[in-house]
Amino acid sequence: MDPEKASQLRSAVVWTVVLTAVHFVLGTRTHAVHGLHIALAGLFMVPVIIAAVAMERRGALIAAAAISGIYLLHLLLNWRNSPMSNPDQFAWPVVYVVVGLTAGQLVHTANYRKWQRDEVIRKSQRTEMVQGLTGLLTVLGVRDAATLAHSRRVAAIAVRIGEQMGLDSVVVNDLRLAGLVHDIGKAGVPDDILFKDGSLTEEQTVVMRSHVDLAVSMLRAIPGTDTIARIVSQHHECPDGSGYPRGLRAKAIDPAASILRVADVYAALTEPRPYHTPTDTSAALAVMSELSGSRIDAAAFAALRAVVGHAAASDIIESGSTPAFKEVNT
């Protein structure tokens, strides 16, 4: 439960307990005390309204029912033979329900209108984000078509792994977007390093690895990409802490980034590169099995193995096909 709502409900409970205690302790034999009881009966509306604010109509009904029960019990136990007893007192439970439902409906309407405003803002930000990401992918495609094709394939694989692991649609979509732009920083890597045949020198490796920070910088310039930027920033981190750029260990790595890394490694092993020929699925899985738990996440790798065992998923993974960018983000 939301901490703010939990605090409001605790406040309603405290109000109810205090009012109930005072109500039952006071006698009903004098007019002065009788007037105080009427005031206390009115104050019972406070926890009803607080519950309505916390849980809208449902909270109001629950609070009204509980307080009505307390109030009626007090009437039956203490006012049966009291000279101040009055049939009008039995109207209070009705008042609690009416006030609670009215307050709950007002809160519900206010929350719904706020949600509508937030939804308009969210859609506007999402449109701006999609336009920004589309621009980045266009730049990458012009600079390096092979990396763009790799990114699309990684996105497709990451989505399949996420679905296999039972992740919700929001996380899966974040994986899709992060997969598409995870190598966008390579657009800022010099040609002699990006397209080099053979192994990189130590200095060149440092420059190549800077593509992660470059990608994060590009993404953070686009509103609404905080989650995607975080996933991209960690997609080269390893469970044993040997990854880059920050050397994070398993518990500190975003689970989505761990999935993206598995997808990236599998795609890299099974695609032609200037420095190696592609391996087949069995060989790639054999290599990754040796890395499982240390260089790649074991759970994400297990999901990948399950995915490539399904013909339909394997077709997408092997072909490298992936939905168009605009389709991905609708």
Q: Would you please indicate which residues are annotated as catalytic (active-site) residues?
A: 186
Q: 245 with 213: CB under 8 angstroms?
A: yes
| Ramachandran angles phi, psi of 197, nearest 5° | -85, 130
Cβ neighbours around 32 below 10 Å, total: 7
Cis peptide before 3 (omega within 30 of 0): no
Q: Which residues pair with 249 in a beta bridge?
A: 240
Q: 92 with 44: CB under 8 angstroms?
A: yes
Q: 189 with 208: CB under 8 angstroms?
A: yes
Pairwise CA distance, residues 143 & 152, whole Å: 15
Pairwise CA distance, residues 270 & 283, whole Å: 9
Q: 228 with 178: CB under 8 angstroms?
A: yes
Q: What is the DSSP letter of 159?
A: H
Q: Which residues pair with 292 in a beta bridge?
A: 296
| Ramachandran angles phi, psi of 240, nearest 5° | -90, 5
Q: Which residue has the tokens 């020198």?
A: 201
Q: 163 with 176: CB under 8 angstroms?
A: no
Pairwise CA distance, residues 31 & 37, whole Å: 10
